[in-house]
Amino acid sequence: MVDRRRRRPRPGPDAVVGAATAAVEKLVARWAAADAAGAGRLFADQVRWWTAPVPGAPWPEAVRTPREVEAFFLAFLGAFELTGITTGRLVAGGADAVLTGQLHARVHVSGESRSFDFALAVSVRDDLISDFRWYADTLAFARALGTTGVPPVSPDWPHRSVPG
C-alpha cells in the first residue's frame, strides 16, 4: 500500500539560517518599537531562557512562556526608555543566530542617557524562538538602576594572576 499523505518538506539549511536571522531581526524591531506583546509572540510555547543576572533589575530572570517573555520586556521598558539599538555583527548557522550591539536608553529613575553593550543568542524551531540567551554589561545596567555595592568584574581585578 502506498502512503499518499502529504508530507511537509523539511526546510533546507539556507531556510533554517534565514529563519534564525529573521527571528533576530523581528525581535530587535519589536524591542526597539517598545512592543512587548509583539516580542512575546515571536517565542515558542516553551522557551529555554537565560539572561545575565543584573543586581536590582526589575525584570524576571525565570522566563518559560511567551507571556513571561512579554513580562520581561514590559519590566525592562518600565526601567529604561529605549532610544535606539545599534547592531553590530550577526552570525547565523543552522537554527542559531548571535547578534552583538548596543542598547541606547534613557534611565527612568535618573533621566540619564546610557548605552549598554550586549550579545543576543537565539535558536529557532518552527519559525519561533525556542532558546534565548542575553549577555549584557551587567555592571553598567546595575549602576544605571542605582544598585550599590556591585563589584566590577571580580574583587581582585586587575591583579588576578592568569596561569601561563
Q: What is the pLDDT of residues 122-158, one digit of tens each?
A: 999 999 999 999 999 988 999 999 988 776 654 444 4
Q: What is the pLDDT of residues 77-109, one digit of tens each?
A: 999 999 999 999 999 998 999 999 999 999 999
Query: What is the model's pLDDT at position 52?
Result: 87
- Let me know how long the chain is: 164
Show the domains of the chain with their CATH numbers.
13-144 (3.10.450.50)
Mean pLDDT for 2-29 is: 69
User: Is the per-residue pLDDT at 54 higher than 60?
Assistant: yes
d(CA 134, CA 148): 23
Residue linked to cell 530587535: 28
d(CA 43, CA 76): 17
8 A C-beta contact, residue 117 and residue 137: yes
b/e string for 61-76 if b means 16 or more Cβ within 10 A?
Answer: eebeebeebbbbbbeb
